[in-house]
Chain A
Amino acid sequence: MNIALTHLQRLEAESIHIFREVAAAFAKPVMLYSVGKDSSVLMHLAMKAFYPAKPPFPFLHVDTTWKFREMIAFRDQMAQKLGFDLLVHVNEDGVRDNINPFDHGSNTHTHVMKTVALRQALDKYGFDAAFGGARRDEEKSRAKERIFSFRNAQHVWDPKNQRPEMWKIFNTRIATGESIRVFPLSNWTELDIWQYILQEDIPIVPLYFAKERPVVERDGMLILKDDDRMELRPGETVENRLVRFRTLGCYPLTGAIESDADTLEAIVGEMLTARTSERQGRLIDRDEAGSMEKKKREGYF
């Protein structure tokens, strides 16, 4: 009999195990749905883990109001198709104060509209466990994080004092107000994600595929002019170029790459020969050294 599991089968089994563990051990879990490719994989795994039932938790999208329009359309379409319970949270204080990436910079914008918004949402609903799609191969401080990552009542991560995590035996015990961030994709690499999307035919936002799009060159990045809120600086022009995105976030903070990869196979091929990491396209990681760790300690995913 053919008994050796393939690499992807192992990763899939591990992730499904993690999903079920949370469903069994926590009173009120939630899945953070960021609409990107990792979220798409996460959602697919959640559907598998509880089949024939639906995932026994809602999906939460923290909307900064600056996401690509195609992401929002895709999100609503998926929610309808798969029939999951979608919660959308916006930091209304930030909207009132008109916090935006152009006037306030990526740091303040991300902190107010993402990190604080997330904390608000977790507190509002009283979630005690939250799934996220972070992978250890993405970034140095993520490489250090446990699969079940403890947060105190203020949502703070203490990287110097993490719980030991032995075998597949997860410590799911918390006191009132505390919570756990759970990362089922911890051991997946970017290649694994694409390979799985290809194998399972998982729908992803069309922005990942190359297409002629109106972009502006700014600070060494190609920014898609997704709506009229983006004002051109002197000397800037909008050009139609053949581009795609390796990662997705807030459109003013996410750089496109020039590419003609318009199929999954071509994307994988391009990734295999890439010479820069996927986070290269993210403005928020570059602000200062150790910036991801700092954001994570404050409650960012």
Chain B
Amino acid sequence: MRHITAESLAPTDGIRDYLAVQEQKSLLRFLTCGSVDDGKSTLIGRLLSDTKQIFEDQLAALERDSRKHGTTGDDVDFALLVDGLEAEREQGITIDIAYRFFATPKRKFIVADTPGHEQYTRNMATGASTADLAIVLIDARQGVLRQTRRHSIIASLLGIRHIVLAVNKIDLVGFDKAVFERIIEDFRQFSHKLGFETIVPIPMSARYGDNVTSRSDKTEWYSGPTLIEHLEAVSVDEAVVELPFRFPVQYVNRPNLDFRGFAGTIASGSVSPGDEVVVAKSGKSSHVRRIVSHGGDLSQAVAGQAITLVLDDEVEVSRGNMLVSPAARPQVADQFAANIVWFDEHALLPGRSYILRTETDQTSATVTDLKYRVNVNDFAHEAAKSLEMNEVGICNISTRAPIAFDTFAENRTTGAFILIDRITNATVGAGMILHSLRRAENIHWQSLDVGKHGRADLKNQRPAVFWFTGLSGSGKSTIANLFEKKLFATGRHTYILDGDNVRHGLNRDLGFTDADRVENIRRVAEVARLMADAGLIVIVSFISPFSAERRMARELMANGEFVEVFVDTPFEECARRDPKGLYARALNGEIKNFTGVDSPYEAPENPEIHLKTLGKSAEEMVEALELWLNERDIAENQYDSGGGI
């Protein structure tokens, strides 16, 4: 690239030849990681500078910035080349990854410079997810630190198999061979379980360039490659083309009735016209008729290519499904075990519902069992009730609909997923699938002859779940009780699920931590769903403080069946009423995790029914509920009769 000079390049005719050579160069994607101040950004600045990737105007800006923000005295501070955000330059730290591009005569490189601070671990994981090699930097004066271990574990979990152990700032320990060897030994001690194929230790000084692109005369005891020699030579090829064919369907291209193409990127293997393919989730089989491309049909396509397939038959395939090799199929299951790296400041809670996304599929998922958390210092498996930000754990996951997958060890593309918070839409975790759980294969839906509609018709009503939410003492139970009496009197079939009552039986094993509250609601929501299935009008009277769980309950029910009722009584009024004497004790600190006192209540934003109780009687509240129910039933009956039966 820019290291070439005008003289070395013949005018125009030479250009196409030169580009043809460029085009055949392989690409290596790597990241730099390690603890704060180990010199990651400085190393990248050094690589860019020594491989002549820095333009004159950029160098001028760098010199200007170095005087203003630099931490290297009169020298140019190379870290400022990559720390591109204002906040980073001001604080002298790296917050988010920067991607930089450079090339040598032998190879092209994309490098992700990642932050060392623990709080930005998720950004490091972002850089690692698309890398094939990690340079783990270690400050020779500091040795292996907690963040060195954490980053090494995450790199290993994310499938990185090649490590460069860059023992940096070797100049500051007098180029001492013994220090170098001790650090290698320390690193090997803890990393032998991480499954790295290559670990190449290199003593270097990123600031002065020793053993980065040129051999240092101060480390004569070192006979290995310089960093750049190793990066140019290391082989990271994974033979994904040799793996069974996997084609996650991303987009169905249907411009007119005569064309139906399945667009996506081949995750592994290869495909040719005439090949038999199977739809992963249904098991239906067809053959590839065409591989359509803008420049004409292809005779073959391989892993990594983004293509459009046309099949011989009109099989049902939509986004999220996979076309696969008939001889080696992926697993299709709704329960599996996975490694999870947690990113969010709100902890992972077993039982809470998240959105799970694979490359093209999406469903809701809950962690049914957090088996253990991994201690990043000694790999000890520790019992845990939740997973905090930047922690790693092994979980059992249950999805609402089955997904097609391979294990992450078999296939980095079809074995990975992310978790998304239902409310904030934040990406809260990353998962690597370990194996499916056998119980998923053995439990099948029993199809029953009597259906929900039949059961409800017999009762001459339509099922509904009235979900009362509100602070303790807001009047939920009183209103629910009166509401049920009214319904009962008009011949409706009802049932009340009351928070206190359920905790005496079904949920007697649960306490009041966030994790237990989530599980409490999950169980009650499932019971309410079964009762609605039985045709009942269910009244759930639960504080249910978190909007995520109420949303999960809503999504369990059929459309229009879930009625969120916000029993809105101000905190002061509830505390004044204090029918059970609980507020007095909570405010005294005798009860922990009390909603509204030291545990949050997330008020509904758009409840179907909003009952403002102040100055109103329970009867008035119930009238509002009855009115709502009658209006719904009238509307649905009209819809039914208008439906042309």
> Is A136 in contact with chain B by the CB < 8 A criterion?
yes
Question: How far is it, in angstroms, between the C-alpha of A13 and the C-alpha of B265 when the chains are bound?
Answer: 8
A166-B416, A167-B359 known; A143 vs B100 contact (CB < 8 Å): yes
The 5 closest A-B pairs by CB, nearest first: A140-B84, A53-B255, A16-B306, A173-B425, A277-B55
Q: Which of A3-11, A35-43, A71-79 lines the interface with chain B?
A: A3-11
A163 to B261, CA, bound (A): 32
In the complex, the answer to whether A6 meets B265 with C-beta atoms within 8 Å is no
| Pairwise interchain contact A159-B101, C-beta atoms closer than 8 A | no
Binding site for B on A (CB under 8 A): 1, 3-10, 12-14, 16-17, 20-21, 23-24, 47-54, 136-137, 139-144, 146, 159-160, 162-169, 171, 173-175, 186-187, 189, 191, 195, 198, 263, 265-266, 268-269, 272-277, 279-280, 289-290, 293-294
Chain B residues 247 to 284 lying within 8 A of chain A, measured CB to CB, are: 250-251, 253-255, 259, 261, 263-265, 270
> Which residues from chain B contact A24 at a C-beta distance below 8 Å?
250-251, 319, 360
Of residues 5 to 51 in B, which have CB atoms within 8 Å of A's CB atoms?
5-6, 9, 11-16, 18-19, 22-27
- Nearest opposing residue in chain B for A21, CB measure: B250
Q: A167-B129, A174-B425 are in contact. Are A293 and B97 (CB under 8 A)?
A: no
| With contact pairs A7-B22, A51-B294 given, residues A17 and B265 touching in the complex (Cβ less than 8 Å) | yes
Residue from B14, B265, B430 in contact with A168 in the complex, judged by beta carbons closer than 8 Å:
B265
Q: Choose among B125, B305, B308, B417 the residue that contacts A5 (Cβ–Cβ < 8 A).
A: B305
CB distance from A268 to the nearest CB of B (A): 5
Within 8 Å CB of B255, what residues of A? 52-54
| Assembly CA distance A198 to B15 (angstroms) | 11
Q: Which residues of the partner chain A approach B261 to less than 8 Å between Cβ atoms?
A: 52
**Contact status of A10 and B65, CB under 8 A, knowing A144-B84, A144-B85, A163-B426:** no
Q: Note all chain A residues with C-beta closer than 8 A to B55.
A: 274-277, 280
B302 at the interface (CB under 8 A from A): yes
Chain B residues positioned under 8 Å from A166 (CB to CB): 125-126, 129, 416, 418, 427, 430
When the two chains form their complex, are residues B4 and A273 in contact, meaning their CB atoms are under 8 A apart? Answer: yes
Residues of A within 8 A of B85 (CB): 141, 144, 159-160, 290, 293
A51 touches B99 (CB 8 A): no
**Interface residue count on the B side (C-beta < 8 Å):** 88
A160 touches B96 (CB 8 A): yes
Q: Is the CB of A290 within 8 A of B86?
A: yes
Are B84 and A20 within 8 A (Cβ)? no
Considering only CB atoms, which chain A residue lies closest to B237 in the complex? A4
Contact partners of A189 in chain B: CB under 8 A:
101
> Contact check: which of B16, B125, B250, B355 meets A20 at CB < 8 Å?
B250
Task: Select B412's contact among A3, A162, A167, beta carbons within 8 Å.
Answer: A167
Measured CB to CB, the nearest residue on chain B to A137 is B101
User: B residues within 8 A CB of A140?
Assistant: 81-82, 84, 98
Complex CA gap A146/B127 in Å reads 11
User: Of A164, A265, A277, which contacts B12 at CB under 8 A?
Assistant: A265
CB of B279, distance to nearest CB on chain A (Å): 18
Please indicate the chain A residues that have their CB under 8 angstroms from the CB of B6 in the complex: 273
Of B110, B122, B430, which is within 8 A of A187 by CB? B110
Chain A, residue nearest B417 (CB): A169
Interface flag for B447 (CB, 8 Å): no
Q: Which residues of B contact A49 (CB under 8 A)?
A: 263, 306
B412 lies within 8 A of A20 (CB): no
Known: A166-B416, A189-B101. A274 touches B2 (CB 8 A): yes
Q: List 27 A-B contacts (CB under 8 A).
A: A5-B305, A14-B306, A20-B263, A24-B360, A52-B259, A54-B255, A140-B98, A141-B84, A144-B84, A144-B96, A162-B123, A165-B126, A168-B265, A168-B359, A168-B413, A187-B110, A191-B1, A195-B23, A198-B19, A265-B15, A266-B15, A269-B9, A272-B2, A272-B18, A273-B4, A274-B2, A274-B55
Across the two chains, which residue of chain A brings its CB closest to B121? A164
Closest Cβ neighbor of A16 among chain B residues: B306
Q: Which residue of B is nearest A136, CB measured?
A: B99
Given A143-B84, A144-B96, A173-B355, A167–B108 Cβ distance below 8 Å?
no
A30 to B5 alpha-carbon distance, docked (Å): 41
In the complex the two chains form, what is the Cα distance from A198 to B19 in whole Å? Answer: 10
Partner of A143, one of B27, B82, B87: B82
B317 on the interface (CB 8 Å rule)? no
Partner of B125, one of A48, A164, A168: A164
Q: How far is the CB of A50 from chain B (nearest CB, A)?
A: 6
Contacts of B590 in A (CB 8 A): none
Query: A48 → chain B, closest Cβ, in Å?
Result: 4
A4→B239 CA distance, assembly (Å): 10
Greatest chain A CB density within 10 A among B84, B85, B343, B417 is at: B84
Task: State whether B98 touches A143 (Cβ < 8 A).
Answer: yes
Task: Return B645 CB to nearest CB of chain A, in Å.
Answer: 33
In this complex, the member of A9, A167, A168, A293 whose beta carbon has the largest number of chain B beta carbons within 10 angstroms is A167
Q: Is B130 at the interface (CB under 8 A from chain A)?
A: yes
**Chain B residue at minimal CB-CB distance from A173:** B425
Cβ 8 A contact of B294, one of A3, A48, A137: A48
Task: Report the separation of the CA atoms of residues A163 and B425 in the bound assembly, to the nearest whole angstrom.
Answer: 9
Question: Which B-chain residue is minimally distant from A187 (CB atoms)?
Answer: B110
Determine whether the beta carbon of B95 is less than 8 Å from that of A23: no
Extra inter-chain contacts (9) besides given A7-B25, A53-B259, A173-B420, CB under 8 Å: A4-B26, A13-B305, A51-B294, A53-B254, A143-B99, A159-B85, A164-B123, A266-B15, A276-B56
State whether the Cβ of B358 lies closer than 8 Å to any Cβ in chain A: yes
Closest residue of chain A to B355 (Cβ to Cβ) is A173
Contact B4 A289 (CB under 8 A): no
The docked-state distance in angstroms from the alpha carbon of A144 to that of B263 is 29
A143 to B1, CA, bound (A): 19
Are the CB atoms of A171 and B420 closer together than 8 Å?
A: yes
- Report B-chain residues with C-beta under 8 Å of the C-beta of A1: 270, 300, 302
From residue A26, how far is it (CB to closest CB) to chain B in Å? 12
**Is A175 a contact of B425 with CB atoms below 8 Å?**
yes
Could you tell me if B12 and A266 are in contact, using CB atoms closer than 8 angstroms? yes
Does B314 belong to the interface (CB within 8 Å)? no
Please measure, in the bound complex, the distance between the C-alpha atom of A195 and the C-alpha atom of B57, giving whole angstroms: 24
A53 touches B12 (CB 8 A): no
Residues of chain A with a CB closer than 8 A to B305's CB: 5, 9, 13
Q: Which residue of B lies closest to A54 (CB)?
A: B255
Identity of the chain A residue whose Cβ is nearest the Cβ of B241 in the assembled complex: A3
Question: B98, B122, B254, B360: which contacts A144 (Cβ < 8 A)?
Answer: B98
What mask results when residues 289 to 318 of chain B are scored 1 for a CB within 8 Å of chain A, else 0? 000111000001010111010000000000
Counting CB contacts under 8 A, is B460 at the interface?
no
Contact of A293 among B26, B82, B84, B343 (CB under 8 A): B84
